[in-house]
Structure 1
Amino acid sequence: MNNAELYQKSNTLQKRDALQCLEEYAKKIKWKNDGDTVIDIGCGDGSVTTSVLKKFIPNNCKRLVGCDISEKMVQFANEHHASDHTSFTVLDIEGDLPNELRGNFDHAFSFYTLHWIKHQETAFSNIHSMLAKGGDCLLIFLGHMPVFDVYRILARTARWSFWLKDVDRFVSPYHDCQDPEKEIKRMMISIGFTAVEVKCTEKSFIYTSLEAVKRAVTAVNPFKIPKEMQEDFLDDYVKIVRDMQLIDHVNNNLNGPVSVRTNYNLIIAYGKK
Structure 2
Amino acid sequence: MAVMEDIRGPDLRHATADLDPESFTWLKELSYKENLTSLNLVKFLKSATKEYQYLDVGCGPGNFLAERLLPRLHPFARVVSTDISEDMIQYAQEHHKKPKVNFEVLDIEKGDVHFIINMYGLFDRLYSFLTFHYIWDLPKVYRNISRLLKDGGECLVVYFTRTGITDVWHQIYQNEEWQLYMPDLSSMFAERYCFNEPVDEKKLGDLEKSAVKAAGLELVACHTYSSVWTFSSADACLGAYIPFFKLDSRVPEEKRAHFWDTWRSALREASVSKDGAISLVYDVIVVHSQKPSTSAAQAQ
Shorter-normalised TM range: 0.7 to 0.9
> Within the alignment, does 1:229 sit opposite 2:251 as a pair?
yes
Q: What does residue 112 of structure 2 align with? A: 97
> Within the alignment, does 1:37 sit opposite 2:53 as a pair?
yes
Q: Let me know the Cα RMSD of the aligned residues.
A: 2.3
Q: CA deviation at 1:264?
A: 2.2
Q: CA deviation at 1:225?
A: 3.7
What is the identity, as a one-letter code, of the residue corresponding to 1:185?
A: K
Q: What does residue 129 of structure 1 align with? A: 147
Q: What does residue 244 of structure 1 align with? A: 270
5 Å-filtered alignment, 1:1-273, equals 2-25=19-42, 28-32=45-49, 34-59=50-75, 61-102=76-117, 104-164=122-182, 166-172=184-190, 173-175=192-194, 177-178=199-200, 179=202, 180-218=204-242, 221=244, 223=245, 225=247, 227=249, 229=251, 233-246=259-272, 248-249=274-275, 258-273=276-291
Q: CA deviation at 1:174?
A: 3.3
What is the identity, as a one-letter code, of the residue corresponding to 1:238?
A: R
Q: CA deviation at 1:211?
A: 3.4
Q: Unpaired segments of 5 or more residues in structure 1?
A: 250-257
Query: Relative to 1, partners in 2 of residues 1:30 and 1:235: Cα closer, same or farther, differing over 3 Å?
Result: farther
Distance in 2 (CA, whole Å) between partners of 1:218 and 1:44 is 17
Q: CA deviation at 1:226?
A: 5.9
Distance in 2 (CA, whole Å) between partners of 1:69 and 1:235 is 34
Regions of 4+ moved over 6 Å: none
Task: Tell me the TM-score normalized by structure 2.
Answer: 0.78
Partner SS, residue 84 of structure 1: coil
Q: CA deviation at 1:84?
A: 2.1
Q: CA deviation at 1:51?
A: 0.9
Query: Relative to 1, partners in 2 of residues 1:38 and 1:260: Cα closer, same or farther, differing over 3 Å?
Result: same
Q: What does residue 255 of structure 1 align with? A: none
Query: Relative to 1, partners in 2 of residues 1:164 and 1:84: Cα closer, same or farther, differing over 3 Å?
Result: same
Distance in 2 (CA, whole Å) between partners of 1:213 and 1:228 is 19
Distance in 1 (CA, whole Å) between partners of 2:273 and 2:181 is 26
Q: CA deviation at 1:90?
A: 1.1
Q: CA deviation at 1:29?
A: 5.0
Q: Is the 8 A contact 2:234 2:267 kept in 1?
A: no
Q: Is the 8 A contact 1:6 1:215 kept in 2?
A: no
Partner SS, residue 16 of structure 1: helix
Q: Is the 8 A contact 1:137 1:272 kept in 2?
A: yes
Q: CA deviation at 1:76?
A: 0.6
Query: Relative to 1, partners in 2 of residues 1:38 and 1:215: Cα closer, same or farther, differing over 3 Å?
Result: farther
Q: Is the 8 A contact 1:163 1:224 kept in 2?
A: no
Q: CA deviation at 1:235?
A: 4.3
Q: Is the 8 A contact 1:145 1:264 kept in 2?
A: yes
Distance in 2 (CA, whole Å) between partners of 1:98 and 1:18 is 24
Q: CA deviation at 1:67?
A: 0.8
Q: Is the 8 A contact 1:138 1:270 kept in 2?
A: yes
Q: CA deviation at 1:271?
A: 0.3
Q: CA deviation at 1:145?
A: 1.6
Larger mean Cα displacement after TM superposition, 228-237 or 4-13: 228-237
Query: Relative to 1, partners in 2 of residues 1:245 and 1:78: Cα closer, same or farther, differing over 3 Å?
Result: closer
Q: Unpaired segments of 5 or more residues in structure 2?
A: 1-15, 292-300
The percent of aligned pairs where both chains have the same amino acid is 24
Query: Relative to 1, partners in 2 of residues 1:243 and 1:123: Cα closer, same or farther, differing over 3 Å?
Result: same
